Homo-oligomer: A and B are copies of this chain.
Amino acid sequence: MQRTLSVQLSTRTDRTVRIAGWVHRRRLLKSVAFLVVRDATGLAQVVVTDPAVRATVEALTEETVVEVTGTVTANASAPAGVELTGPVVRPLGPNAVPSPFDLFRPELTATLPTQLDHAPLALRHPRRSAALRVSAAAVAGFRATLDARGFTEIHTPKIVGSATESGANVFALDYFGRPAYLAQSPQFYKQLMVGALERVYEVGPVFRAEPHDTARHLAQYTSLDAELGFVTDHRDVMAVLRDTLAGLLGTVVDRAGPALRTLGVTVPGVPAEIPAVSFPEALGIAGAPPDEPDLAPAHERALGEWARREHGSEFVYVTGYPMAKRPFYTHPDPARPGYSNGFDLLFRGVELVTGGQRLHRHADYLAALAARGEPVGPYADYLAAFRHGLPPHGGFAIGLERLVARLTGASNVREVTAFPRDLHRLTP
């Protein structure tokens, strides 16, 4: 008999079906026993009255894998309005060793470190697996939006020959006897690929040897990177990012509806035009002194509140950050060279996306490095390609775990990461 998923049961009333899943919970009452079976789509209640079947159920432990054949019976007081009656219960493996924490309660009560130590078990909790489903839908929406706009997906090296971008926080490895490093971003590769494909994106791991033990930092995270050529300036990039976010969140709504309901999450809309303020305007709105060189977290929160109050938007762009606070490859504002054609996107008062127009002339790169007193050496391979003609271009990067944490209200990115890596954690 074909397996029926728990989500399908309500359409199979009065039929005999076979379900399979994990023993989520048992309730052994005097005259009847209830077995709740969990599968990837939800929970199914099995009602046991036959003494022999009850003996089988009594011998089971939580998390044991079972299959149950029975009749789908309407019962308005059962979850989803149906339950299985007259069941035959068969274990599909040995009895499971009990979990160190209860998986059947609405919330996991174990501390986060305990959950992470036992990640393969904790991820079985409906709230933890729901966050992973939201994450998968978000990535699917990112790709679909960019596919529809002429972008091509690329895969770039994660092992690189020189430590670029932010030299300190880099993992070193032995590459056939030579020193090498884990890539901190696909930044340079995606720019070079604009020369071949014009519009590219990559979804992949990036590595940061972050010495900080915070709720926002991971040593490996998933970066959603995009880069496009033939832009006028950063505003073309912001328009694509706006559409990408709208498509991403729309796909979360379309594909991850049950997961959103499990988490009690409502997905915000993205305005047709996301409000944008210049860096000096942002300082003014946040009540910061006009000579502040960067936005502090409190300023970002104030901007988030302002955007919601004044524009009904959970999102706000800040444009034209001072060049000194942006990476050397950022294109300056031609009208105000101390300020950049770079932007941040704040989501609910926290920076979620960084992007901007990049330099595209080889001579500009050399000048930018010289102005910062940085050597050309580590960038030489990368910069060589800029002598061969690259169009004006720009792009952005979204940290997937931060996005999903912010969207689902998780206070720590580790809650929405299957097997996080950080300063202290290398397993499981």
Within 8 A of B (CB), among A261-279: none
A261 to chain B, nearest CB (A): 17
Within 8 A of B (CB), among A142-182: 143, 147, 150, 152-161, 171-176, 178, 180, 182
Given contacts A65-B389, A153-B139, contact A120 B174 (CB under 8 A): no
State whether B136 touches A153 (Cβ < 8 A): yes
Given contacts A171-B175, A363-B94, contact A155 B389 (CB under 8 A): no
State whether A426 touches B220 (Cβ < 8 A): no
The stretch among A72-80, A324-332, A416-424 that forms the contact with chain B is A416-424
Across the interface, name the chain B residue whose C-beta is closest to A363.
B94
Please give, as numbers and ranges, the residues of chain B lying within 8 Å of A155 by CB-CB distance: 135, 205, 222, 400, 418
State whether A176 touches B423 (Cβ < 8 A): yes
- B39, B153, B178, B211: the one contacting A140 at CB < 8 Å is B153
State whether A132 touches B197 (Cβ < 8 A): yes
User: Whole-angstrom distance between the alpha carbons of A198 and B6 in the complex?
Assistant: 13
User: Whole-angstrom distance between the alpha carbons of A128 and B197 in the complex?
Assistant: 10
Please give, as numbers and ranges, the residues of chain B lying within 8 Å of A428 by CB-CB distance: 192, 381-382, 384-385
Given contacts A161-B427, A391-B92, contact A150 B65 (CB under 8 A): no
Q: What is the copy number of this chain in the assembly? A: 2
User: Whole-angstrom distance between the alpha carbons of A128 and B39 in the complex?
Assistant: 45
User: Whole-angstrom distance between the alpha carbons of A204 and B23 in the complex?
Assistant: 32
Within 8 A of B (CB), among A215-239: 219-220, 222, 230
- B92, B99, B220, B387: the one contacting A157 at CB < 8 Å is B220
A126 to chain B, nearest CB (A): 10
A175 to chain B, nearest CB (A): 6
Q: Identify whether the interface residues of A are mostly helix, strand, loop, or mixed.
A: mixed
Contact with B along A340-355 (1 / 0, CB 8 A): 0000000000000000
State whether B220 touches A128 (Cβ < 8 A): no
Contact with B along A16-27 (1 / 0, CB 8 A): 000010110000
Given contacts A123-B196, A153-B136, A158-B158, contact A175 B426 (CB under 8 A): yes
Q: A120-B388, A128-B196 are in contact. List 12 more A-B contacts (CB 8 A).
A: A65-B391, A94-B363, A121-B385, A136-B152, A139-B153, A158-B220, A161-B426, A171-B175, A175-B426, A180-B426, A192-B428, A381-B427
A contact set with B: CB distance below 8 Å: 3, 20, 22-23, 39-40, 63-65, 92-94, 96-97, 99, 119-121, 123-124, 128-129, 132-133, 135-136, 139-140, 143, 147, 150, 152-161, 171-176, 178, 180, 182, 189, 192-193, 195-199, 203-205, 207, 209, 211, 219-220, 222, 230, 360-363, 381-382, 384-385, 387-392, 400, 418-419, 421, 423, 426-428
- Between-chain CB contacts (< 8 Å), 18 pairs: A22-B389, A40-B150, A92-B392, A119-B192, A120-B193, A120-B196, A121-B385, A124-B196, A132-B154, A132-B197, A133-B152, A136-B153, A155-B400, A157-B220, A172-B173, A175-B426, A189-B419, A204-B204
